Amino acid sequence: MSDHPCVVTIDHKSKPRVLFSGTRLVEVDLPVGTKVLYPKKPMKGLPDPRAAVRYALSHPLGSPPLYAKLRPGMKVTIAVDDLSMPLPSMKGPDNRALVIDEVLHQLDEYGVDDVEVIIATAFHRPMTKEEIRHVVGEKCFSRYWPDRLYNHDAEKPGGLTLLGTTPGGIDVEINRRAAESDLVIYVNLTFVPMNGGHKSLGTGLVGYRTLKGHHNPSAVRKSGSYMEPSRSELSRRMIEVGQLIESKVDVFHVETTVNNRMFDKPLEFLAKNEDELTDLESRAMSALIKTLDALPDAARQAVFERVPAPYEMIGVYAGACDPVHDAILEKVHQQLCVPVKGQFDVVIFPVPYISPYNVGAVLNPLLVSVMVEGYLHNLHRGAPLLKPGGTLIAVHPFTDRFDEAQHPAYVEFFHKLLPRTRDAMELHKKYEADFARHPSYIQLYRTGKAYHPAHPFYMWYWGENGRQHRGRVITVGADNEYVPGILGYETARTMAEALRMVREQNSDPSIACFRICPLLMADVTPDAAPPALVDAMGVDLTVPVPASPVSTRSGAEEA
Amino acid sequence: MSPTAHRATAYFDVDGTLCSTNLLHPLVLYLVNQGTPAESMFRLGRALLQAPVLAAAELRDRRRFNELLFSHFRGMSEDRIVLLADEVFQDVVKPRLYPGAQELVDTCKAAGLRTVLITGSLDVNVWPLARHMGCDHVIANRLEFAHRKATGKLMQPVVAGPEKAGLIVADARAHGHDLAACHAYSDSFSDVPMLSVVGHPACINPDARLARLAQSYRWPILDIQRPAREGRRRETSA
């Protein structure tokens, strides 16, 4: 059976691959036989996204239409995903703005005027005024900002309401306004399979008491991939939380997703196989590499980050949580999944400048590790791309730089706690609770631009299943040795040196290169079935996919 | 929370940190509220004449500055000083409290921290603030009295600059608290020793020298001039 067209095997004639290394692009010669996984071409966007939204609201899955839930005088809260997705943020109008426009139109028509709009930030930094304007759209912004359109505050005294405790023992407390609403409308943008579904409310509008029930090393360790709900303990716990919320609060979900058209025309060649570049594109690529090398850091960051992506809506579904999420996940998989046979001894991860947790800030070393052992490792279905005990090669400069406005607690976590221990369980048990109550960092979360002090812990846990799975991590292109050292990584100056280090232990390793950006996901058919996830008592932890209450599909696909 | 339940202490400088006052504000109120207008005029005039010396002392030696400043209390009756203390709080301190000050103290208390005000101001002037904010203790300067009249001298230890660090060490030890788990807040470079001695220092509205140091050491810099409430998160601007 031949490889999928997005899986390219390096041969003697292959050109060097161009890989992201932070805000730079580097050319790397890969050994013959290396499998390079490229993102799929962008799917065609919906021809009329506004019409698709209207259709989805009127033809929901597993729920009466939105208009049938509305009555004059009712209290409605619209909760909205924050700007951590998509990456980078999309050209206007954002999917969420399109949905909110139509939702507001229906609320007006049915005489609903007690409306508040909350950005479901959880422990993320508050979104700025301009970011909020972009995400919710001008109509919503001009009507509700700032009194009835605001960021969720998980530390506001009296700002959360306890709804109950899940069968698994997680206390569920959510934003008081949402808890006291007759209807919550959740407007989401699912970019990767971990987003959306019960995670939306079960994470976005809750506080520490609830977050610690699923954002912990034990849940991540038990997850084969948190990008694959059926193999994710994290997802199972979030479903538990979400189901409890929905047993107390009426929630109408609107999920959307986009294709992976990350780069506009002038930079579109970045998504292509280097061997298929035209002469003009090859010259443009060389010029871009040289230009980026010549620019200072901040300017390089701006080149990529300040240019919004021309993402297009490829799906919108509304109604009950589970069927809506299932439908949107199908679209996400259709766009992202690249089939690949077998697992590899070595996987190369180029780490770009961006992650969900550094919009408008530098990708600090802790976030680089989250990308390597967390996000990128987990972007698989079926089985990890890396064999158990294999070697990850991370291409990034690993500069010791933090954005002190956004990530003040990260600095202390990275430079004070990690040198003491990298054991996620020890960090969780010994340090997390005190850190999560750190008054200065909480003040910065509430009044400034900062992430919550528990967030760096969650980021470390995010890499926990990757850390348990991999053998070594070797960095290529690090500008220092102590940052990789703190993370427990080895350093190599070049890819050739890194591969030499691998060959000292395995003379003929199989190698894969995960060639982002744009985004992709490895749909792995392992040589052998992946081991079942079992706990210490031998109980199978594989998470059953919740049965969808509706069997027939409607929604925007048929619009 | 019972005293034994505290896991550590948060130490707060007061003037410039929790409120926009300085040590001169209460002094002026005392000077203009003497027994007779003539005495007030005399004391104010003498203070004005000494202003350049005070200014020089503030720049060079915080302890000397405090000694000079509080010498103006010489001869004032203990009754008058205590009686005017509440007025100092109501008229001078309370209106100048930063909007986010109370919430910061409350966040510390919610985190299981004992809260202590440590300041060069007079203890009689600080206790009303401590009671208002629900703080547990005050470490402040105390005037020496003889025959119920202020001598113009401060009792030992004088609370200023580097001495604050030693007082914090002693206080934390007395309460069985690990300094590495303690927090301290100040606005002034003169308080670097007190900030350095705890495990969790933070700057509030820091002066330029302290801001530079805070950036070097990556100490958190807080702005409590606006309240930390839901509305504040609404107002986050680009």
Confidence of residue A529 (pLDDT cuts 50, 70, 90): low
Q: Name A227's Cβ contacts closer than 8 Å, sequence gap at least 6.
A: A192, A193, A194, A378, A379, A380, A381, A521
Give the residue carrying structure tokens 């400088």: B13
Chain B, window 88-117: residues with a beta carbon less than 8 angstroms from a chain A beta carbon: 100, 103-104, 106-108, 110-113
Two structure tokens written together for A144: 């509700």
Name the β-bridge partners of A490. Answer: A474
Tell which of A119, A412, A440 to mutate to test the B interface (max B CBs under 10 Å): A440
Residue A249 near residue A557 (C-beta atoms within 8 A): no
Q: What is the mean pLDDT of residues A287-306?
A: 88
Q: Between B35 and B141, where is the model more confident?
A: B141
Closest CA to A112 of A246, A318, A252, A206: A252
A342-358 tens-digit pLDDT: 999 999 999 999 999 99
Domain that holds residue B48: 3-233
Q: Find the mean pLDDT for residues A131-135.
A: 96
Q: How far apart are CA B108 and CA B136, in angstroms?
A: 12
What mean pLDDT is reported for chain B?
87
What residue segments make up the domains of chain A, in order of their start?
A: 7-42+337-525, 51-259
- The backbone torsions φ and ψ at residue A557, rounded to the nearest 5 degrees and listed phi first, read -55, -35
Which CATH superfamily includes the segment(s) A7-42+337-525?
LarA, C-terminal domain (3.90.226.30)
Q: Indicate if the pLDDT at residue A435 is higher than 50.
A: yes
pLDDT exceeds cutoff 70 at B2 = no
Top pLDDT among A281 and B48 is at: A281
- Distance, in Å, from the CA atom of A542 to the CA atom of A308, rounded to the nearest integer, reads 38
pLDDT band at A547 (very low <50, low <70, confident <90, very high): very low
Lowest mean pLDDT: which of A172-176, A234-238, A537-541? A537-541
Looking at residues A458-487, what average pLDDT do you find? 97
How far away is chain A from the Cα of B103, in angstroms, using its nearest Cα?
8
Q: Are strands A171-175 and A160-165 parallel, antiparallel or unpaired?
A: antiparallel
Report yes or no: B15 and B92 within 8 Å, Cβ to Cβ. Answer: no
| B70 pLDDT higher than 90 | no
Beta bridge partners of residue A206, listed in sequence order: A174
Cα separation, A503 vs B118, in Å, equals 61
Residue A375 confidence (pLDDT): 95
Per-residue model confidence (pLDDT) at position A323: 98
Q: Which of A86-95, A177-186, B77-86, B220-229 has the highest mean pLDDT?
A: A177-186
Contacting residues for A261 by C-beta, under 8 A, at least 6 apart: A42, A45, A309, A310, A311, A312, A518
| CA angle (A380 as vertex; A378, A381 as ends), nearest 5 | 125
A23-81: pLDDT as tens digits? 999 999 999 999 999 999 999 999 999 999 999 999 999 999 999 999 999 999 999 99
- pLDDT range class, residue A136, cuts 50, 70, 90: very high
Tell how many helices (H) and how many strands (E) occur in chain B.
11, 8
- Cα–chain center distance at B33: 22
Percent of chain A with pLDDT over 70: 94
Asked if residue A535 has pLDDT above 70, the reply is no
What CATH number does residue B191 fall under?
A: 3.40.50.1000
> Is B15 a domain residue?
yes
With residue B24 as reference, give the H or E element that holds it.
Answer: helix B24-32
Cα(B93)–Cα(B125) distance, integer angstroms: 9
Contact (CB, 8 A) for A184 and A201:
yes
Radius of gyration of chain B from its Cα atoms, rounded to whole angstroms: 18
Is A368 or B231 the better-scoring residue by pLDDT?
A368
The pLDDT value recorded for residue A530 is: 57
- Mean pLDDT calculated for residue range A259-265: 92
C-alpha to C-alpha distance for A105 and B202, rounded to whole angstroms:
47
C-alpha to C-alpha distance for A209 and A41, rounded to whole angstroms: 42
B147 class by beta-carbon count within 10 Å (0-12 exposed, 13-18 middle, 19+ buried): exposed
pLDDT at A551: 32
* pLDDT score at A553: 39
Does residue A548 register a pLDDT over 50?
Answer: no
Q: In what order do the strands lie in the sheet with B137-141?
A: B137-141, B113-122, B8-12, B183-186, B200-204, B221-222
Average pLDDT over every residue of B168-185: 97
At which residue do the structure tokens 């299943």 appear?
A465
Strand boundaries in A320-436, DSSP class E: 337-341, 344-350, 380-381, 386-395
Contacts of A522 (CB under 8 A, 6+ apart): A37, A337, A338, A340, A379, A380, A381, A385, A512, A514
Q: Is residue B238 part of a domain?
A: no
Q: Please, which pLDDT band fits residue B238 given cuts at 50, 70 and 90?
A: very low
For tokens 């002034």, name the residue. B188
A447 vs B contacts (CB less than 8 Å): 100, 222-224, 226-228, 232-233
Q: b/e per residue, B203-238, with b = 16+ CB within 10 A? A: bbbbeeebbebbeeeebbbbebeebbbbebbbebee
- Which amino acid makes up residue B138? V
Nearest to A517 by CA among A305, A286, A351: A351
Residue A389 has pLDDT above 90, yes or no: yes
Model confidence at A476, pLDDT cuts 50, 70, 90, reads: very high
> Nearest Cβ partner of A440 from B200, B229, B234?
B200
What pLDDT shows up at residue B165? 97
Q: Give A407-437 as a 3 state SS string.
A: CHHHHHHHHHHCCCCCCHHHHHHHHHHHHHC
User: For residue B68, what pLDDT is reported?
Assistant: 81
The answer to whether residue A123 neighbours chain B at the CB level (below 8 Å) is no
Task: Give the pLDDT score at A62.
Answer: 97
pTM, rounded to two decimals: 0.90
Torsions phi, psi for B210 (to 5 deg): -70, -40
- Mean pLDDT over residues B182-191, rounded? 95
- Please answer yes or no on whether A131 and B183 come within 8 Å at the CB atom: no
Domain range A51-259, CATH architecture: 3-Layer(aba) Sandwich (3.40)
Helical H segments across A470-523, by residue range: 482-487, 495-503
**A477/A495 Cα distance (integer angstroms):** 8
The mean per-residue pLDDT over the stretch A139-150 comes to 96
What total number of domains does chain B contain?
1
**Closest Cα of chain B to A184: distance in Å?**
19
Residues near A236 by beta carbon (within 8 Å), at least 6 away in sequence:
A543
Q: How confident is the model at residue B67 (pLDDT cuts 50, 70, 90)?
A: confident
Is A283 a residue whose pLDDT tops 60? yes
Which pLDDT band holds residue A249 (cuts at 50, 70, 90)? very high
- Output the pLDDT for position B39: 79
Residue A217 host element (H or E): helix A217-221
The residue of chain A with its CA nearest to that of B108 is: A439
Whether B153 maps to a domain, the answer reads yes
Q: Find the mean pLDDT for residues B52-64.
A: 77
Mean pLDDT of chain A: 93
- Mean predicted confidence (pLDDT) in B165-181: 96
Q: What is the pLDDT of residues B218-235, one digit of tens each?
A: 999 999 987 654 444 554
From the list B107, B202, B237, the residue facing A128 with the nearest CB is B237
Q: Are A447 and B226 in contact (CB under 8 A)?
A: yes
State the pLDDT at residue A550: 32
How far, rounded to the nearest angstrom, does the alpha carbon of residue A408 sit from its chain's CA centroid? 21
Averaged pLDDT for residues B186-191: 94
| C-alpha dihedral sign at A427, A430, A436, A441 | negative
Mean pLDDT of A526-536: 60
Candidates A95, A264, A115; CA nearest to A190 is A95
- Three-state secondary structure call for residue B106: helix
Q: Are A337 and A329 in contact (CB under 8 A)?
A: no
Is B92 in a helix, a strand, or coil?
Answer: helix
CB B146, CB B71: distance < 8 Å = no
Residue A182 to chain B, least CA–CA distance (Å): 21
Residue A526's pLDDT is 87
Closest to B218 (Cβ–Cβ): which among A130, A404, A441?
A404
For residue range B100-129, list pLDDT tens digits in order: 999 999 999 999 999 999 999 999 999 999
Q: Do B107 and A442 count as a contact with CB atoms less than 8 A apart?
A: yes
The ipTM, to two decimals, is 0.84
**Residue range A235-258: mean pLDDT, rounded:** 97
- Per-residue pLDDT at B234: 53
By Cβ distance, the residue of A128, A149, A443 closest to B228 is: A443
Query: With 90 as the cut, is the pLDDT of residue A182 above it?
Result: yes
Tell me, what's the pLDDT at B3? 46
Does the pLDDT of residue B34 top 70, yes or no?
A: yes
Structure confidence at residue A555 (pLDDT): 38
